[in-house]
Amino acid sequence: MSDKPVSEMSFEEAMAELETVVGQLERGDVALEESIRLYERGAALKKRCEEKLKEAEEKVAQITLDDEGNPVGTKPAEGL
């Protein structure tokens, strides 16, 4: 596992570590205290992935298209 704070991870980093955490928990070969720590880390990683996906979805939603459906630019996000 990485020592990098979850809040500084890219989507890809968080997802890769989340997969590792889930694998360890599924195997069930870790002590109870370690399982709790892994679960907490996994929850934080899941939240980070969800945040990064939402950011990406919002960016994609801001792409404007011309009459033929081709991207021509972006519009400012509402409420920002």
Q: What is the pLDDT along the chain (80 residues), one digit of tens a residue?
A: 778 999 999 999 999 999 999 999 999 999 999 999 999 999 999 999 999 999 999 888 888 777 787 877 776 655 54
Is the pTM above the cut of 0.85?
A: no
What pLDDT is attached to residue 25? 95
Contact residues for 62 (Cβ-Cβ < 8 A; gap 6+): 74, 75, 76, 77
Reply yes or no on domain 6-74 having CATH 3.30.70.1060: no
